[in-house]
Structure 1
Amino acid sequence: MVKLIPISKSNPQDRVAENKYYAQVVSSGKTDLERLAYLVANQSTVREADCYAVILSLLHNIVDELKQGKIVKLDKLGSFQIGINSDAVETAEEVSANIVNNVRIKFRPDKRMKNSLNIKTVDFTINQSA
């Protein structure tokens, strides 16, 4: 069940307009790597420690592949790719690694994953406060 709370927001295009209310998701906790390893182990014949080790190795290798400029595609999950922010320069000749000021990981979920999480598959409940 996904919890929602009402949030009052102003219209950035009309600052004098009255605020309106929108639904906002409230997190119900976090799931960490150990919990995922536990869940996978209980759904298979693989031990929890082995699951944990495999997931950690997968994370390490995803980062290594991203550092080589590759897109990492995990079927049924999605694709990871490096994204950057950079300063603007006047000419193509001025473009260099020195103008990069932020690196991030972009994730694009696989079509099947996207389709498995939609308005028809999620149950919502309203909380009046966080």
Structure 2
Amino acid sequence: MNNLLPILKVQAKKNPRDLEAPERYYLQAVKNGNTNLERLAYLISNQSTVREPDCLAVLHAFVHNMLDELSQGRVVQLGILGNFQIGVNSEGSDLPEDVNRSNLKRVKLNYRPGSRIQKQINQLDFQIKAYEAE
């Protein structure tokens, strides 16, 4: 692990249910770039005897097979990493016979971290940036 701390910023937000209410202040995680499969392959290859192209090939195969398993309605269980499962948001109908694909609003990927990862995330230290009015 490195010594960089994830950053949280103070963010003002209106209450969507009561737009006349005063703003309240919340902590919001700040994105600090992206990591792609190539970067992960590079990092893994530097921590093992497996070459970078081989790591990348395994990661690509992993993504392909994970998508295939999810498309069959399976929960993909990855041990300490956690579980992935397809989820949906839909609009309701008054009668069950009125429900069809047009009720579907959004398909999403649900992730539930394994207990070890959740514990480590809960123990993270953060750098908090002060509120900056816009």
The equivalent of 1:100 in structure 2 is 104
Structure 2 matches for 1:5-84, cutoff 5 A? Answer: 5-84=9-88
Matched residues in 2 for 1:89 and 1:6: separation?
Answer: 39
- Matched length: 128
TM-fit CA distance, 1:32: 0.9
| Corresponding residue SS for 2:32 | coil
Is the CA contact (8 Å cut-off) linking 2:11 and 2:131 kept in structure 1? no
The equivalent of 2:93 in structure 1 is 89
TM-fit CA distance, 1:96: 4.3
Matched residues in 1 for 2:35 and 2:110: separation?
Answer: 20
Is the CA contact (8 Å cut-off) linking 2:13 and 2:24 kept in structure 1? yes
Q: Deviations over 1:51-100 (max 9, x none)?
A: 11101110110110111111110001111111122332333344444543
Gaps (5+ residues) in structure 2? none
Q: Which amino acid in 1 is paired with 2:39?
A: R
Q: Deviations over 1:1-23 (max 9, x none)?
A: 11222212234455434323322
The more displaced of 81-90 and 34-43 is 81-90
The equivalent of 1:121 in structure 2 is 124
Q: Percent identity?
A: 42
Is the CA contact (8 Å cut-off) linking 1:3 and 1:127 kept in structure 2? no
TM-score, normalised by the number of residues in structure 2? 0.80
Distance 1:55 1:21, change over 3 A: same
**Aligned Cα root-mean-square deviation (Å):** 2.2
| Corresponding residue SS for 2:27 | strand
Distance 1:21 1:71, change over 3 A: same
TM-score, normalised by the number of residues in structure 1? 0.82
Gaps (5+ residues) in structure 1? none
